[in-house]
Chains A and B, each alone.
Chain A
Amino acid sequence: MTLKITRENIKNSLVDKIEDISGQNVFDCYQCGICSSGCPVTDYMDFPPNQVMRLVQFGCVDEILNSKTIWICSTCLQCSTRCPKGIEVAKVMEALRTINLRQRGGTLNPDDLKSKELKDLPQIALVSAFRKLTG
């Protein structure tokens, strides 16, 4: 479908959010494709990492939030290591996952957790749950 680009949607609030969470300037990407060519799991993705970057640049965040790609990414950091522009692509992927999870709702309230659960759950699981399911 034809994508209508306007100055309002090209840098929308979701793009700002991605930049905010990841700390990356997505407009640094000049589409060399080294992230996708080196990624060990590109074959299993519906959008290779460079296209994820491209779609974010055009403000098409919803399209990626519903993609398999962000969940196939294993955060191996190959893309971040090789990027000639120093973009940590893996952090952009993580930002997209975070936004997806936050959009699903089900915010975690610490007061709802029982003291036994707090005692038994591994700390790493708690930290990760709070990160994904708050704010």
Chain B
Amino acid sequence: MKRIGVFICHCGINIKDTVDVERLTQELEDYPGVAYIENYMFMCSDPGQNTIKNAIREHKLDGIVVAACSPTLHESTFQTVLKESNLNEFQLEIANIREQCSWVHNDIEQGTHKARLIIKTAIEKLKLNESLYPVSAPVTKKALVIGGGISGIQAALDIADGGYQVVMVEKKPSIGGHMIQLSETFPTLDCSQCILTPKMVALSKHKNIKLYVNSELESIDGYVGNFNVKIKQKALYVDPAKCNLCDDCTEVCPVLVPNEQEEGLGWRKAIYIPFPQAIPATYTLDVENCLGLEPIACGKCREKCTAEAINYDAKETIIEEEIGAVIVATGFDLYPVENIPEYGYGKYPDVITSLQFERILSATGPTGGEIYRPSDGKVPKEIVFVQCSGSRDPEHHLSYCSKICCMYTLKHAKLYKHKIHNGQPYIFYIDIRAGGKRYEEFVQQAVSEEGIVYIRGKVAKIYKNGDKMIVMGMDTLSGKKIEVEADLVVLAMGIVPSEGSHDLVKTMKINTDDKGFLSEAHPKLRPVESLQAGFYLAGTSQGPRDIPDSVSQASGAASKALILLSSDKIYHSPIIAWVDEDLCSGCTICVGTCPYGARELNQVSKVVEVNEILCEGCGACISACPSGAAQQKNLTDNQIDNMIKIIASGK
């Protein structure tokens, strides 16, 4: 029989005021199995820890119960005490008599009684605890970064600079994401492309980074530190190594397609380069719009290409990679503007989205950075910006704040004013959220000095009268109904997780919240990790955020991935499931129940086996198993029965 030591903590007055620790010490002294018992003001303090160490030595204890706060706080502290005393750390049980007892009771009699039961259950569980050792596995020292926007680029560069191999997968023909579409960035108004392209070039030239564009994640198997990844790359009809960017192919291509890089405001050919600074620097053939890969149908581009870079017979390829850690940086899309018909997008060409306005403002955009409205090319003299288009409307659209629209709208208004000095920008808003560094000053300066007019209220309707767009709104500050005759209206669209991310999360089996954004392991203390081990989150895939936040988070995710990649082995808690082979009938109910894919039927022995690295110890298989063959280490049915007996006895 184990010689168990029980150590009851006062936690100052946190426990002592509601639990009579002295009485419990006396009462439990003679409880079967208890060889030593003591109470102390702060068990977690150095003297408190020494009390335990001394007692282990002097009383030859081989099991310890610490009755104190939640195990999430000090379990590891006391496990270390056991290890330092040459005991296995799984011979420790924490009896939580603070969060689950003293903090939720007022009456000292009731509190003491409940604490007594909690400590007794911990003693009973400990009696049957086995000594366990962490499970370990090797680590593949290579990271996969999904998404080539600013977040993915930053994470990839950080990991590669840390000396590890990186594989980047980007769906589009070039990296750069939404940031490459932006004109300037707030609140500094520096050029978005000018600050992003150096990073894109650095990525393309980095010896540790392998970039796959036009590619998607096909499948991912394995577990943390040891993933097997399949990447599907679309057929590369233009060989990047041969393409010399002469532009001859686009001149002969007869097909015009709305340019997605320009948010549909301009046109491109079916063979094209997405934008001048595209990485990889190569033309790309849009097979869906190409007249046909058979030279009989067209074939003009291949005829013209002197570099012989075009190959109509190229095939889609599957690339396999061994990966240790995955960074998910799948980005955002705008909320579908068609969902707000009262704003007239699609019906009126002079109602545009915020990303379209970015392109109009951009020097590489369809107007070369000059502000003309789409309908007749007129310079808009009065322009209305409608904030919260689709955001903060739980009844009809998105319930959340998209966070970046306040600042990008103000940036739009300022850039407009800087180009059209006698023009008048109006911004309809509900609240101005300017919580970043120097953001509030950016707002105040605009209002005080630049003549940008904020009107507090949500726009109800936009319609056309002559060549003007009539914006019907309200200023709740003055109580006045407002009407503006605008030349151009820009809808500050809210943001949603990128379209492709919905399928991707299913492939990766990682959690999302109810909005489809990736879930972090802990909202405050583990914000860049997924609950699924080995997956790290960066950028707007996790929620709306601006460039500085995305970059910081990407670096945070990269450093978490680097911790994993720089470890020789990964360790995993041994509190996991195991199978009693004599009882297992091989029914495989548990295999389907396991959310981590950690269980598999051995086709030879016909019993289920547990992959110890994948198993997270959630217990789903144990409750699903009809024969009691699935058991949790140190939480066996026997242990749980004994604990229930104590509680049920009420003594």
Seen from chain A, the residues whose Cβ lies within 8 Å of a Cβ on chain B are 1-7, 10-11, 25, 27-28, 30-31, 50-51, 54-55, 57-58, 60, 85
Q: List 26 A-B contacts (CB under 8 A).
A: A2-B482, A3-B480, A4-B482, A4-B483, A4-B484, A5-B426, A5-B453, A5-B455, A5-B482, A5-B483, A6-B424, A6-B485, A11-B451, A27-B447, A27-B448, A27-B451, A28-B444, A28-B448, A30-B444, A51-B477, A51-B478, A54-B475, A58-B475, A58-B478, A60-B480, A85-B448
A55 pairs with B478, CB closer than 8 A: yes
Which residue of chain A is the closest to B432 with respect to CB atoms?
A30
Q: Does B396 make an interface contact (CB < 8 A)?
A: no
Q: How far is the CA of A28 from the CA of B447 in the complex (A)?
A: 7
CB contact between A7 and one of B424, B477, B482 (< 8 Å): that residue: B424
- Assembly CA distance A50 to B381 (angstroms): 29
Total interface residues on B, CB under 8 Å, equals 24
A10 B453 Cβ-Cβ under 8 A: yes
Contact A31 B485 (CB under 8 A): no
Q: How far is the CA of A129 from the CA of B584 in the complex (A)?
A: 104
**Is the CB of B239 closer than 8 A to any CB of chain A?**
no
B524 at the interface (CB under 8 A from A): no
- A3 neighbours in B (Cβ, 8 Å): 475, 480-483
Nearest residue (CB) in B for A25 is B448
Task: State the main secondary structure of chain A at its contact with B.
Answer: mixed
What 19 additional pairs, Cβ within 8 angstroms, besides A30-B444, A51-B477, A51-B478? A2-B482, A3-B480, A3-B482, A4-B483, A4-B484, A4-B485, A5-B453, A5-B455, A5-B482, A6-B485, A7-B382, A7-B422, A27-B447, A27-B449, A50-B477, A51-B479, A54-B478, A58-B478, A85-B448
CA distance A10 to B484 in the complex (A): 11
Contact flags B509-539 to A (C-beta < 8 A → 1, else 0): 0000000000000000000000000000000
**Smallest CB gap from A11: residue in B:** B451
> Are the CB atoms of A31 and B451 closer together than 8 Å?
no
- Name the residue on B nearest A7 (C-beta): B424
Q: Which of B422, B424, B475, B485 contacts A10 (CB 8 A)?
A: B424
Cβ contacts under 8 Å, A55 to chain B: 478
Contacts of B479 in A (CB 8 A): 51
Q: Which residues from chain A contact B482 at a C-beta distance below 8 Å?
A: 2-5
> Within 8 Å of chain A (Cβ to Cβ): is B206?
no
Q: Which residues of B contact A6 (CB under 8 A)?
A: 382, 424, 484-485
Which residues of chain A are within 8 angstroms of B485 by Cβ–Cβ distance? Answer: 4, 6
Interface positions of B from 443 to 491, Cβ below 8 Å from A: 444, 447-449, 451, 453, 455-456, 475, 477-485
Given A7-B381, A7-B382, A10-B424, A2-B478 contact (CB < 8 Å): no
Question: What separation, in Å, do the CA atoms of A85 and B451 have in the docked complex?
Answer: 16
Which B residues are CB-close (under 8 A) to A2? 480-483
Cβ-based interface call for B423 (8 A): yes
Return the chain B residue nearest A47 by Cβ.
B478
Nearest B residue (CB) for A55: B478
Q: State the CA gap A3–B484 with chains docked (Å).
A: 9
Task: Give complex CA distance A76, B485 in Å.
Answer: 41
When chains A and B are docked, how far (Å) is the Cα of A57 from the Cα of B426?
12
A70 to B484, CA, bound (A): 29
- Please name all residues of chain A whose beta carbon is closer than 8 Å to the beta carbon of B381 when the two chains form the complex: 7
Q: Cβ of A51: which chain B residues have Cβ within 8 Å of it?
A: 477-479
Q: State the Cβ distance, A27 to closest chain B Cβ, in Å.
A: 5
Q: How far is the CB of A86 from chain B (nearest CB, A)?
A: 11
Q: Is the CB of B484 within 8 A of A5?
A: yes
9 A-B pairs with least C-beta separation: A7-B424, A54-B478, A2-B481, A3-B480, A28-B448, A4-B483, A54-B477, A31-B477, A2-B483
In the complex, what residues of B have CB within 8 A of residue A58's CB?
475, 478, 480
